[in-house]
Amino acid sequence: MKKTSTRLADGRELLYYDSRDDLVRDETDPRPLDPVSTASEIRRDPLLGDAVAVASHRQARTYHPPADECPLCPSRDGRLSEIPAADYDVVVFENRFPSLAGDSGRCEVVCFTSDHDASFADLTEEQAALVLEAWADRTAELAELPQVQQVFCFENRGAEIGVTLGHPHGQIYGYPFTTPRTALMLRSLAEHRERTGGRNLFDDVVERELADGDRVVLEGEHWVAFVPYAAHWPYEVHLHPKRRVPDLRALDDGARTEFPQIYLELLRRFDRIFGPDEPPTPYIAAWHQAPFRGEGAVDREEFGLHLELFTIRRTSGKLKYLAGSESGMSVFINDVPPEAAAERLREVASK
């Protein structure tokens, strides 16, 4: 992998991740862009104690542009985009409309491929491996920023999720705090350690799922994917490395090599859940990593890196809405038993 750093016309950082080590990147951004102006601030909810990012400038972000005006495609045929090059493998750049900025953190966009009509599931294993390397590299770089406590790599896929750009891409958030969901995991981790005389919660969850087997969807030498016992979403899979590590930086060579095989198969199965006549399955793919600093970093070496993949589609043509119980009280009601979801995901395995 070769990484090349450059700057866009408004000063934002852009990085090329290329599979060829001999590739020279000397493109410049000729667009007459004004400097980025953000109004992001973090406010604390006094009742719940969690953080809310207020970012009014995002109202002006690009919204469902035509394919020939996609800002994530390469710049070619006289059309200029966010990526100055005429082609690329993987690109990461600072978001022009960030939810978090400056002392409030950092937001980046990750373009998985230059092919506008592809999806992550269409990538080759070599391409998916390069995305993983980019995720790990950005995690390492953002961990060095003093204002960043936790790094979150994720992909939103599908209009039903709220995606406004159809090009295959994801995002990376560098939060200036430990997120509420991670804080809950860390609390459960500490409680489990106290209750069991020192055992690790993540290790015990993976061990239980492997021993039970009913909810295991896919297993390799280095990774295991299963539907969690108390899944929140109709179809939800958690992907864990069998050797527990706190973040993407710590994955060994075996886990990095096997990841593309396992992950691409999971994504392809997701697209087959509801049958061949159904449109591509909308999903969120979310990496959970240990915080780097702050109170949440106390148990970082005990934390278990994992990816959570889930869809809001509950059956053909119907979505799972977060209505009164979920949105009002954070109590999920799942219409699909986890064991049934796991069985369906095993049925649609690639031949």
Burial track 244-265 (b if 16+ CB lie within 10 A, e otherwise): bbbbbebbeeebbebbbbbbbb
- Residue range 175-192, pLDDT digits in tens: 999 999 999 999 999 999
What does the pLDDT read at residue 298? 87
Name which of 164, 119, 135 is nearest 267 in CA terms. 119
Name which of 235, 242, 324 is nearest 283 in CA terms. 235
Among 150, 175, 200, give the residue marking a domain's end.
Answer: 175
Domain match, 55 and 188 both: no
Domain match, 312 and 332 both: yes
What does the pLDDT read at residue 149? 96
Where in the sequence is the domain holding 281, given as residue range(s)? 180-347
Q: What average pLDDT does range 143-170 have in this prediction?
A: 95
The beta-strand segments (E) located in the chain are: 2-7, 13-18, 40-44, 51-55, 90-94, 106-111, 150-157, 169-175, 216-219, 223-226, 235-241, 283-288, 306-311, 313-315, 318-319
What does the pLDDT read at residue 205? 98
Give how many domains the chain has, as a whole number.
Answer: 2
Q: Is 192 a catalytic residue?
A: no
Domain match, 308 and 186 both: yes
Confidence of residue 62 (pLDDT cuts 50, 70, 90): low
Q: For the domain that residue 213 is a member of, what is the CATH number?
A: 3.30.428.10
Q: Kindly report the backbone phi and psi dihedral angles of residue 18, in degrees, each rounded to the nearest multiple of 5, phi listed first.
A: -115, 145
Domain match, 224 and 276 both: yes
Q: Tell me how far apart the alpha carbons of residues 33 and 292 are, in angstroms, rounded to a whole number.
A: 34
Domain match, 55 and 12 both: yes
- Residue range 327-337, pLDDT digits in tens: 999 999 999 99
* Catalytic member of 167, 169, 222, 238: 169
Q: What average pLDDT does range 205-211 have in this prediction?
A: 98
